[in-house]
Amino acid sequence: MLRQILTDVLGLKPEQAKNFTNDTGLFGHLPELDSMAVAGLLTELEDRLDIIIDDDEVDGELLESFGALLAFAEAKQAG
Amino acid sequence: MKILDYACPLPSGGTARELALAFHQGRTSRVMVIPALFDEANRMRRFTVEVMRRLDIAGIDCFLPDLPGCNESLQDLAEITSVDWSDAMQAAAAQFGASHLLAIRGGGLVMPGGYPGWHYAPVKGASILRQMLRARLISSREAGREENQTQLLEVGLEDGLELGGYQLSAGMLRDLQSLVPTVSASFMIIDQEMIGSGPLWLRAEPGEDRTQADALAAVVAIGMNA
């Protein structure tokens, strides 16, 4: 799901996001991923996973890598 | 493709000339396209015009008016509310003799009544606002400034607020909090599943997708001939 959203946000080819590992850098690493794109990504994540992300939860660490965001989304969905 | 203009009513009375992109040959089928709002308008602009090109080829006149305060408009966005946008779209639809409307995303929030048509990928005003506020919080945090949504909104609802490079009036912020897409039997909702592939408004960089433009134009063209 997260791979799909990143594919949509970054305009990747369908198989490209498969290469993302937990260490793949996001915000600050991908020049096209600016604050507006990240905000879109988080809002889309909320819609598709039916979760609410508080502003306090959004920090540099959360957005730094694919792994961090994935762990966060999974924890949110479970909780 | 031509650039036309329309007489846009001003809040203070009188009118301003606002521009509209047009495929205009005096045909009877006439679709006015209401663009997506704010940052999404930029990301969807090329797609929107690609859809219009296809409608033109299908024998349909189409028009894409600027919202006052946006795109080529010389009006100050900081003075504009959503009512001004609705009034502008009403005036444009009348002047261009629209037979149908096609609203893209947030454009459906300022759609004039009384026309049949389509609304592609509707979105609530509150969602647009939330996303713009979130983008501002993320960039402030990145710059080492701590802000929060409640405080920003409180200030904004008094004095207006700059979000993502858009200077929004207090009235606009208030409107966005409550605007929801109009539901009407004469208006068909087109969701992303009908168009296929990933939504272009999510793209970090403006993109395009021929297949999606084909699909949206087909829905409209087939609907007009039905």
The ipTM of this complex is 0.85
Model confidence at B135, in pLDDT bands (50, 70, 90)? very high
Residue B37's closest CA among B108, B139, B138?
Answer: B108
Query: Which distant-in-sequence residues (6+ apart) come within 8 Å of B86 by Cβ?
Result: B110, B111, B112
User: Mind telling me how many Å the CA of B208 is from chain A's nearest CA?
Assistant: 9
Encoded tokens for B167: 């200077």
User: Which site among B202, B203, B209 would you substitute to test the A interface, given the most A Cβ atoms closer than 10 Å to its Cβ?
Assistant: B202
- Position B182 scores a pLDDT of 87
Residue of A nearest to B163 (CA): A36
Q: How is residue B151 written in tokens?
A: 């405080």
Q: What is the DSSP string of B98-124?
A: -SEEEEEGGGGGGPPSS--EEEES---
What torsion, rounded to 10 degrees, do the Cα atoms B187, B83, B4, B6 define? 120
Q: Which tokens belong to A31?
A: 């020049």
- Could you report the per-residue pLDDT of B148-185, keeping only the tens digit for each? 899 999 999 999 999 999 999 999 999 999 999 988 88
Rounded-to-integer distance, Cα B28 and Cα B97, Å: 9
In this complex, the residue of B142, B149, B198 whose CB is nearest that of residue A8 is B198
The pTM (predicted TM-score) of the whole model is 0.93
